Amino acid sequence: MRQQLHILLPFLFLISLTLSAQDTLQTKQLFVRVFDTKKTKIAKGKLQYIDKDSIVVLRNEKRTTIPVNRIGIIKTKRSVGHNVAMGAVVGTSTGLVFGYLAGSEGDFIFTRAESALMTGFLGLMAGPIVGSLTGIVKNPKAFRINHEPEELLKFKNAISEKYQH
């Protein structure tokens, strides 16, 4: 029974991915962070569209309209801290699972729990390193808007080739 479960679980996982992929039409959208002139973040989320005097950002199924007179800077993509945190989460969870599966039951070296803790700790150390490297490579950009509709139009033209909005 246990051997059948090892075969069945990956199969069920793959089926669930294809089923959830059919729910919505995925489009490539730009993640933006919007700051005022004092560098205070006023909004973040996926860019929905840009008008001549505002932008609309979607976050958690909630649309936020930000008028150009509030926008100081628009930064594209997520911050490096996000990549570091995601690297830590993925590294730790992968290490825990791998260590548990690699550990042996009642062996003289390490138990499954000890092996899971050690490899989870190694993943916790390696994950943020990988996350910081990917954060540096992803090349985020900052666009100064400074309440100017012309600068917002330049931002729209700069991203329109690459992203659908």
Question: pLDDT tens-digit profile of 73-112?
Answer: 888 877 777 888 888 888 888 888 888 887 766 656 777 7
Structure tokens at 108: 């003289």
CA–CA separation, 95 and 109 (whole Å):
18
Q: Is the confidence at residue 159, as pLDDT, over 70?
A: yes
> What are residue 97's DSSP bridge partners?
none
Structure tokens at 51: 């008008």
CA–CA separation, 162 and 96 (whole Å):
38
- Residue linked to tokens 């730009």: 30
| DSSP 8-state assignment for residue 125 | H
Question: pLDDT tens-digit profile of 12-55?
Answer: 565 655 444 443 333 467 888 889 888 888 888 888 888 888 88
Q: Looking at residue 162, what is its pLDDT?
A: 66
Most distant CA pair in the chain, distance: 70
CA–CA separation, 89 and 111 (whole Å):
23
CA dihedral 9, 14, 19, 21 (to 10 degrees): 140
Domains of the chain with bracketed CATH: 24-76+147-160 (2.30.30.100), 80-136 (no CATH)
Mean pLDDT within 148-159: 84
DSSP per-residue string spanning 40-72:
-EEEEEEEEEE-SSEEEEEETTEEEEEEGGG-S
CA dihedral 69, 74, 78, 84 (to 10 degrees): -100
Q: Is the confidence at residue 71, as pLDDT, over 80?
A: yes
Q: Looking at residue 24, what is its pLDDT?
A: 35
Question: pLDDT tens-digit profile of 115-137?
Answer: 888 888 888 888 888 888 887 77
8 A C-beta contact, residue 124 and residue 88: yes
Q: Looking at residue 165, what is its pLDDT?
A: 43
Q: Looking at residue 81, what is its pLDDT?
A: 79
Residue with the larger pLDDT of the pair 6 and 46: 46
- Residue linked to tokens 């979607």: 58
